[in-house]
Amino acid sequence: ITILEASNRVGGRILTHREGGWYAELGAMRLPTEHRIVREFIRQFNLLLSTFYSSHNNAWYLVNNVRARHIDVEKNPDILNYPVRPEEKGKSAIELYNQTLDRLAPQVTTDCKVLKEKYDSFSTKEYLIKEGNLSRGAVNMIGDLMDLDGGFHLSFLDSVMGHVTFQQGLDEIVNGFDQLPEAFYRYIDPKADIRFQAPVVNITQDGKEVKVFYHNPSTSVPTLKTADYVLVATAAKAIRLIKFSPPLSPNKTRALRSLHFSKDVKIFLACRERFWEEKDEIFGGKSVTDHPARNIYYPSHNFSNGVGVVLASYTGDDDADFFNSLSEEKSVDLVREDLAKIHNLNKSYVQTVCDKHVVKKWGEDEYSMGAYVSLTPYQFTDFAAALYQNEGRVYFAGEYTAQPHGWIDTAMKGSIRAARDIHEAMGATHGWPRGERKGN
């Protein structure tokens, strides 16, 4: 087995920034309870998990020029001044959202195929208004507080899958997610030929073999590697950098070209004082604002050197596009300003105590070209099958080839399916009985 990695490291969209005794998860940062595949590997590699706290009673809402604690909004959602109908008053954003899902319950339990066929055409906002019969005020409340506003134009089905996933408990890997790909690397390295800085430029199928051409740092012309089968495990958009001969099918080509990717932006601040703990008694969870920062995640862990690392802004879709247009310096300045407003502090204080930062704009990443797939209406129906379908001896895997999109577990699920399909194809070629394999 030969593994060709375009970058100079393992991990892909698992990216842990480490500096001066602290770290920040620029990529994957949480694991839902029901994601069993990734959790099994974490167990086998003897990595530790701890709770990722996604909410805290003392965290803040700052929306509609109203600043209020989570616990107070939970008791009385009306204090945020959303212009909802009388029958919607007193209901939280999640209650209003779940209310619109009640009509889906019978279909979810009987036939998911019918559900996809019926609702794949809906954007999230369209469904909430037309099928959910919510007021514009209720829809705006859901958009702001559930972080759906920037992606209201996206597939309602994608929204539902995300909502269901986040209703589970969440964990994080103690001391950083980068330990997971590093553990895989140590396990695989003795068994495979792993080459870094080796971006693939051409894949040619010729009879019973596949020729893979890739750039090698030590040569000026592409290097050739011949294989029986190839598994392409890049991010979806990056596949378009590879030339295929014969060309990929029109359906596959169209799916890869049209697939919608969220270009998430994460902005971390490293602070000498953990004012969110000391002043506001917030431990984990997140604050929400309709200002540019949108979502502020507080650490569910602390570092021995006393540094507090806060994810001062986490945005996706249209909210992320705002920061993608700005310089890093301007982005950080705006986020410090929003953080000061949320915690009722002077901006100069935040600038002084939070003097280090790290920014990751996934839309600018040359290898992934985005964070994860977030489908638009009709893309489930039009593209789902084409995205994971093999093309001759070339197979495809990644978070875009299975649902729910955007998770480590989903990428693993897609990879296992592709490996199984390759195994079965090899068995058919070599005449092995189905379900058996050659060797140990």
Buried b (16+ CB within 10 A) or exposed e, 360-386: bbbbebeebbbbbbbbbbebbebbbeb
The answer, yes or no, to whether residue 240 has pLDDT greater than 90, is yes
The predicted structure's pLDDT at residue 340: 99
pLDDT in tens, 130-184: 999 999 999 999 999 999 999 999 999 989 988 889 988 999 999 999 999 999 9
The answer, yes or no, to whether residue 104 has pLDDT greater than 80, is no
pLDDT in tens, 402-425: 999 999 999 999 999 999 999 999
pLDDT band at 324 (very low <50, low <70, confident <90, very high): very high
The predicted structure's pLDDT at residue 207: 82
Provide, rounded to the nearest whole percent, the portion of the chain with pLDDT above 90.
87
CATH number of 85-166: 1.10.405.10
Mean pLDDT of 114-137: 93
Mean pLDDT of 105-125: 77
User: What would the two tokens of residue 94 be?
Assistant: 């999640």
Mean pLDDT of 248-258: 97
267 within 8 A of 359, measured Cβ to Cβ: yes
| Cis-peptide into 404, omega within 30 deg | yes
Mean pLDDT of 240-269: 97
CATH number of 199-260+375-430: 3.50.50.60
User: What would the two tokens of residue 185 be?
Assistant: 């690397």
The predicted structure's pLDDT at residue 435: 47
Q: Is the pTM of this model over 0.85?
A: yes
Residue spans per domain, the chain: 85-166, 199-260+375-430
The predicted structure's pLDDT at residue 110: 52
Residues with Cβ within 8 Å of 12's Cβ and at least 6 positions away in sequence, in order, are 27, 181, 235, 367, 368
The predicted structure's pLDDT at residue 427: 81
pLDDT in tens, 347-370: 999 999 999 999 999 999 999 999
